[in-house]
Structures are given as structure tokens and as C-alpha cells.
Amino acid sequence: MNRRKFNTLAGLSTLGMMSAKANYNPLNTPYQYHLNYAPHLGMFKAHAGDDPIDQLHFMADQGFKSFEDNEMRNRPLALQEKMAKTMSERGMKMGVFVAHNIAWNRPNLASGDKDERAAFLSEIKSSIDVAKRVNAKWMTVVPGLKDFRKNIEYQTVNVIDTLKAACELLEPHGLVMVLEPLNFRNHPGLFLSESPQANSICKAVGSASCKILFDIYHQQIQEGNLIPNIENCWDEIAYFQIGDNPGRKEPYSGEINYKNVFKYIHEKGFDGILGMEHGNSVAGKEGELKVIKAYQMADDFI
């Protein structure tokens, strides 16, 4: 595939942000990214097919050195092992998976209910085995809905106490739960919605096993002011996720200046993973090429 044809398929005419000096690589030539971006299953299935192993190989062939999978803990054990083996062979790191059954429609951690706490801790314990099986370090935690019958300060204490108990399980294994604040528009009523709130909770828990997952899409909607908020939370951020707004698609599909955000994160010395937790703005192979090109463009900040 020649470069001109690839550029057309990738939608550069609509992106309109390619620098004159850029020389982005075509498909199947591994691209050398400055940051460690992690795709997920389904993002490139038009090219790679439905098989998860083939999709991992395709990601690696494009130069992606990590992979994240929210549903990993629910996948068959044999598939977990096969995916872990493939990632190891291709030199890929495992990013986050969701560590527990998220309470989207009820207060659980904020309520202080002993049964809810016990169920959460049991799921964290099970996720330790998953993390070891797939060579993961990070797992996502969402504390569920607010308990509107309780003052927010009491809810906060309930959440902190539960997270401290979870850290006692995770610390001996060097594992990290990353708390993800989610925006009010997509997830109304959740206890954890803002990065300053997550920062305060992590400071109160006081463990290397409790950090922040800063989802740039969610925080653009919830609070904006992205770079200053990242700066203020920096010591507690262990993981980023990506998605443009509106639409939650790849960079350059919305309003966020991802090149500047990525440049800032890189200049801060971040050597962790940035999960590509978004959809594709265009379906099929054309859309997948557009995703790849968007990341090459956004990563061209040096």
C-alpha cells in the first residue's frame, strides 16, 4: 500500500493536522511511539479477525507495546493463559482489567454495608489470581453509586476504609488498584467523579496499591482543565485512558488537543500505559487505519 493511498484511507483530509515534515509509517510497519498506548479487543478486528490472539499479533505488528482488557477476569482461564503467552512472546505489557463487579445501580462501597464490603474484597482477592495469570499490575476499581441517605463525608470514610482493606490484599503481590472517576453525563450518581476527589482518597488510603486511573475522556466532560488537573494529581496517577469528546472515539475526532496532552505527559516522565478505551469513529478497515494514523499524529510531539 503506497503512502498516498494509506493517507486517504486514514482520513487525513478530514483530520487536517498532519505536519509537513511528518513521515508516518504505513500499515504493517511497526511504528516507534514515544508513549505506551494500549488498544483493546475489537479495535482492529476488521483487519485481524475475531480471534483474540490474531488481534494481539496485529497490535504488536503496528508497534503497540501494551494491551488492556476490561473483561479479562471474565474470560475462560485457557484464553487468559493463551493471551498472556502471546503478549510475552510479542513483548507486550498487560494494562488494566476491571477488578470487580461494578455497582452501577446501587451504593456499595459508599454505603458502608458489611456484606457489600465483603463481596468487593472477595472479588479483589480473585482478581489477584487473574493478575498473576496474565502478568498484570493494574486493575480498575469504581466505587459504585453515592448513598444519598448519608452525608458525603461519611460515604468517603466508608470508601477509604474499604480501599485500605483491599490494599492489605494487594500490597504483598505488588499489585495496584486504580480508581477511575467517571463523568456525570454517562454515569450519573456515581460516588467518584472528579480527579481532586480521587487524589484526596488516595492520599488518605496512603498505599502504593491505591492510585488513580485518569481517564482523559471522562475528565474532559467532568471538569476540563486537563493539564493542570493532571499536574495536581500527578503523584497519585498510575494509569491513563484515552477518548476524545464528544463521541468517545480516537484522537482528532473531537475537541481535545491530544498532541499537547501527550507531550505534557511525556515531558513529566510517564513510563506507564495509556489505554485506548474508546471506539472507532469510522467502521471497518478504513476506520481502523484512521485510528492508527491518529495515534501516530498525536504522538508526533517531539
pLDDT digits (tens, 9 = 90+) for 102-140: 999 999 999 999 999 999 999 999 999 999 999 999 999
Q: Nearest-CA neighbor of 142 among 169, 175, 105?
A: 105
Q: Provide the domain count of the chain.
A: 1
Q: Give buried/exposed letters for 161-171 (b at 16+ CB in 10 A, else e).
A: ebbeebbebbe
Active-site annotation holds for 194: no
- pLDDT tens for 196-244 read 999 999 999 999 999 999 999 999 999 999 999 999 999 999 999 999 9
Residue 58, domain member (yes or no): yes
Q: In this structure, what are the phi and psi dihedrals at residue 160, rounded to the nearest 5 degrees?
A: -60, -45
pLDDT digits (tens, 9 = 90+) for 83-98: 999 999 999 999 999 9
* Alpha-helix residue ranges (DSSP H) falling in the chain: 3-9, 12-15, 45-48, 52-61, 77-90, 114-134, 152-170, 195-205, 216-222, 226-233, 258-267, 284-298
11 domain-assigned: no
Q: Which of 68, 116, 236, 277 is catalytic?
A: 277
* Residue 267 domain flag: yes
- Integer CA distances (angstroms), 240 to 22, 93, 117, 150, in order: 26, 15, 27, 31
Catalytic residue among 68, 116, 180, 236: 180
180 is catalytic: yes
Range of the domain at 154: 33-298
Q: What is the CATH number of the domain that holds 106?
A: 3.20.20.150
pLDDT in tens, 51-73: 999 999 999 999 999 999 999 99
- Does residue 5 fall inside a structural domain? no
In a domain, 136, yes or no: yes
Q: Is 290 inside any structural domain?
A: yes
Return the closest-CA partner of residue 246 out of 224, 275, 217: 217
17 belongs to a structural domain: no
Spatial CB neighbours of 8, under 8 Å, sequence gap ≥ 6: none
Angle between helices 77-90 and 52-61 (to 10 degrees): 20
Does residue 138 fall inside a structural domain? yes
